[in-house]
Chains A and B, each alone.
Chain A
C-alpha cells in the first residue's frame, strides 16, 4: 500500500503533537526546578527559566527536614538490594521450574501463579507488622527489605523459565554425568548464560523499587531518617506547606526522575522486551 505525501504529513503532525503533550509535563517540571522561587510563583507560564539557578538544589541540600542526600542514599541502597534480591530469587525460581523434577512442582507453580490474582490490598501490612514484631525486626526500611527477600515475582519467574527452556538441555546432562549437582549446574552453567534476561529483569526491578511509594511510606513512618527519595518528596506535599515548598518539591522530583530516565535511555529495549515477554509469553 502506498501512502500519499499529504497523508504522511498528517501522520507526522499527529505524532508530533502527541509527542509534545507527552514530554511537556516532564520538560516543564525539570525546567522549573532551575527557576528562582519567585519565578516559580509569579510566572508559571514561562516554560524555561529566565534566570537559570541552582538555588532550589542548594536549598534542598541545606534543608533540615528535607535531607536530600540522605534520602538519595536510602533510595539507592533500597533499590540496589531489591534488584539483587530479585535477580537471585527469580533466576533460581525460573531455573527450578524449567529444569527441576520434583514432586509438587506443578502444584507449587500453580499456587505461585494464582498469586497474581489474589490482592487483598494494603490491609495486609498489619499482619506483616505482627510477623516482623514476632521475629524482633523493627518497622523500618530494613523490615521492608526483609519482606522483599521473601517476596515472589511470578512474572520474572516466567521470564527466566521460558529463557532457560531455550537453552540446550544437553549441557546440563553432560555436567550431571560429570557429577555436578542440581544446584551446581545452576551456578556453573545456567547462571552465566542468563545475562540477557537478567539485564531485562534487573532494569525493571530497578525502576520498580526506585519508584516504590506506598510500602516504603508505611514502613518508614516511625523512622523518617530512612525515607526514600520518592517518599520524602511526596511527604512535602502532604505535610501541608505545599505552596511554600514547590521549589524543593520540583528539585526533589527532578532528582528522583533522573536515574529512571537515564536507565530508560540506556536500556529502553530491555524495558520493552521485558514488558512484551511478560505480557505475551506469560
Chain B
C-alpha cells in the first residue's frame, strides 16, 4: 500500500520536471525563435504582400495593382533579365577556370611536400578578407593609373594603358580575376579534404599495373571525388550567383550598368543608400521574390542533373 502511494506521487513529479525542461529549452531558444518570426517570417510575408502594391514609402501613394508588378518583370524589364545574363556569364567564365585550378593545386598539395601547411594557409588567405575591401584593392591595382597598367606598359605587353572599366568585356575580366583570387583557396581546402577520402591502396594498385599519372587522375582520383564534387560545385555556383557587394564596390555596374549581377542590381535599384530616394518598393519586392524563386530553381535543377555524380561510387 505504501509503495503504491509512492508510485502515484512520483508521476506528477516526473511530469512537472518534463514540463519545466520544455520550458527551459524554449527559454534558451527564445531569442532565435522570436528572431525567426520577426526577422525572417514577417519580412517574407511583407514582401509577398507588397509585391501586389505600388509602394514608394509614402502611404498616400500606396495602391493595389494586382499582377501588374509581375507582368512588368516578364514583359518590360529587359534590364533585369540582362543582369541575369551577366550573372550566368560571370559563372560560366569564373567556375571553369577556378575549379580546375583549385583541383590542380589541391592535387599538388596532396603530395608529400615541405611547407604544405604554409602554402595552404596562404592560398586560403584572400578568403578571410572583407569582400568590399577586395573590391577596393582590385579597383586600385586595375586603376587606369594603377600597377597592372604600368607594368603592362613597362614590359611592352600593351602600347598604351588599358581603361579596364570602359567596356563590358575587360570589366568582366577584371571582376572575374578578383573573384577567383578571392575564392580559389576555399575550393583547394574542399578538394584536399575530398582527396583524403581516396584510399591510398587504389593508387598503389594502379601504379603497379603501370597506369600513367594522367590515367590515375582521370580513372581513379576524379571518379572517387565525384560525390564531393557535386557539393563543391553547388557551393561555388551558389556563391557566384549571390555575388553582390563585390560588384557594387568595384564597378558599381560600370560601364552603364552592364556588369551588374542580379543581386547587386537589386541592391543598387531598391536599397536605401544605393538607390534613388523614391522607388517603387512594391516592384522591388516582386523582383526579389522572382529572383529567389529562380535561384532555388537553379539549385534544384542542378541537384537533379548532377545526381549521377553522387552515384559514381
Chain A residues near B (Cβ < 8 Å): 1, 3, 11-12, 14-15, 18-19, 21-23, 25-26, 28-29, 32, 41, 43-45, 47, 89, 92-93, 95-96, 100-103, 105, 108, 111-112, 115, 117-128, 130-131, 147, 149-152, 181-183, 186, 207, 210-214, 217-218, 221, 230, 233-234, 237-238, 246, 249-250, 253, 256-257, 260-261, 263-264, 268, 271-272, 275-276, 279-280
A181 nearest CB neighbor, chain B only: B24
How long is the Cα–Cα vector from A102 to B289 in the complex, in angstroms?
34
Are A123 and B111 in contact, with the CB atoms below 8 A? no
Interface of chain B: mostly helix, strand, loop or mixed: helix
Provide the residues of chain A in CB contact with B189, threshold 8 Å: 272, 275-276
B57 nearest CB neighbor, chain A only: A126
5 pairs from A and B in contact (CB 8 Å cutoff): A3-B111, A26-B137, A100-B25, A127-B47, A237-B139
Provide the residues of chain A in CB contact with B46, threshold 8 Å: 124, 126-127, 130
How many residues in B have their beta carbons less than 8 Å from beta carbons of A?
A: 92
Question: How far in angstroms is the closest Cβ of chain A from B90?
Answer: 17
How long is the Cα–Cα vector from A263 to B129 in the complex, in angstroms?
11
Residues A213 and B108 in contact in the complex (CB < 8 Å), given A19-B119, A151-B35? no
Question: How far in angstroms is the closest Cβ of chain B from A49?
Answer: 13
Is residue B151 within 8 Å, beta carbon to beta carbon, of the partner chain? yes
Not counting A25-B138, A213-B132, a sample of 9 additional A-B residue pairs whose C-beta atoms are within 8 angstroms of each other reads A1-B203, A100-B25, A121-B292, A122-B271, A149-B31, A207-B128, A221-B272, A272-B124, A279-B235
Provide the residues of chain B in CB contact with A47, threshold 8 Å: 147
Question: How far in angstroms is the closest Cβ of chain A from B53?
Answer: 12
8 A Cβ contacts from B228-271 to A: 231, 235, 242, 244-245, 249, 252, 263, 266-267, 270-271
How long is the Cα–Cα vector from A100 to B130 in the complex, in angstroms?
37
Is residue B123 within 8 Å, beta carbon to beta carbon, of the partner chain? yes
Provide the residues of chain A in CB contact with B145, threshold 8 Å: 41, 44
Are B130 and A29 in contact, with the CB atoms below 8 A? no
Are A119 and B292 in contact, with the CB atoms below 8 A? yes
**CB < 8 Å neighbour of B47 from A123, A150, A207, A212:** A123
Question: How far in angstroms is the closest Cβ of chain A from B47?
Answer: 6
Provide the residues of chain B in CB contact with A207, threshold 8 Å: 128
Are A217 and B137 in contact, with the CB atoms below 8 A? no
How long is the Cα–Cα vector from A246 to B33 in the complex, in angstroms?
45
How long is the Cα–Cα vector from A126 to B51 in the complex, in angstroms?
13
Residues A121 and B288 in contact in the complex (CB < 8 Å), given A92-B28, A213-B132? yes
Q: Mark B1-42, 1 if CB is under 8 A from A, else 0.
A: 000000000000000000011101111110111111011101
Are B193 and A280 in contact, with the CB atoms below 8 A? yes
Are A147 and B149 in contact, with the CB atoms below 8 A? no
Are A120 and B44 in contact, with the CB atoms below 8 A? yes
Most buried by B among A26, A221, A249: A26
Provide the residues of chain B in CB contact with A105, threshold 8 Å: 25
Question: How far in angstroms is the closest Cβ of chain B from A210?
Answer: 7
Question: How far in angstroms is the closest Cβ of chain B from A95?
Answer: 7
Are A117 and B296 in contact, with the CB atoms below 8 A? yes
Are B31 and A150 in contact, with the CB atoms below 8 A? yes
Is residue B312 within 8 Å, beta carbon to beta carbon, of the partner chain? no
Are A233 and B133 in contact, with the CB atoms below 8 A? yes
Chain B residues near A (Cβ < 8 Å): 20-22, 24-29, 31-36, 38-40, 42-44, 46-47, 105, 108-109, 111-113, 119-126, 128-133, 135-141, 143, 145-147, 149-151, 154, 181, 185-186, 189-190, 193, 203-204, 207, 231, 235, 242, 244-245, 249, 252, 263, 266-267, 270-273, 281, 284-285, 287-289, 291-292, 295-296, 299
**CB < 8 Å neighbour of A108 from B29, B130, B207, B285:** B29
Residues A214 and B150 in contact in the complex (CB < 8 Å), given A89-B31, A125-B272? no
How long is the Cα–Cα vector from A253 to B207 in the complex, in angstroms?
50
Are A183 and B42 in contact, with the CB atoms below 8 A? no
B44 nearest CB neighbor, chain A only: A120
B111 nearest CB neighbor, chain A only: A3
Are A253 and B133 in contact, with the CB atoms below 8 A? yes
Residues A256 and B133 in contact in the complex (CB < 8 Å), given A22-B123, A45-B154, A126-B281? yes
Are A186 and B141 in contact, with the CB atoms below 8 A? no
B109 nearest CB neighbor, chain A only: A15
Provide the residues of chain A in CB contact with B113, threshold 8 Å: 11-12, 15
How long is the Cα–Cα vector from A106 to B154 in the complex, in angstroms?
64
Residues A230 and B147 in contact in the complex (CB < 8 Å), given A112-B32, A121-B291? no
Are B20 and A123 in contact, with the CB atoms below 8 A? no
How long is the Cα–Cα vector from A93 to B32 in the complex, in angstroms?
8
Are A264 and B271 in contact, with the CB atoms below 8 A? no
Provide the residues of chain B in CB contact with A102, threshold 8 Å: 21-22, 25-26
Question: How far in angstroms is the closest Cβ of chain B from A152?
Answer: 5
How long is the Cα–Cα vector from A120 to B291 in the complex, in angstroms?
8
Provide the residues of chain A in CB contact with B20, threshold 8 Å: 181-182
Provide the residues of chain B in CB contact with A268, threshold 8 Å: 121, 124
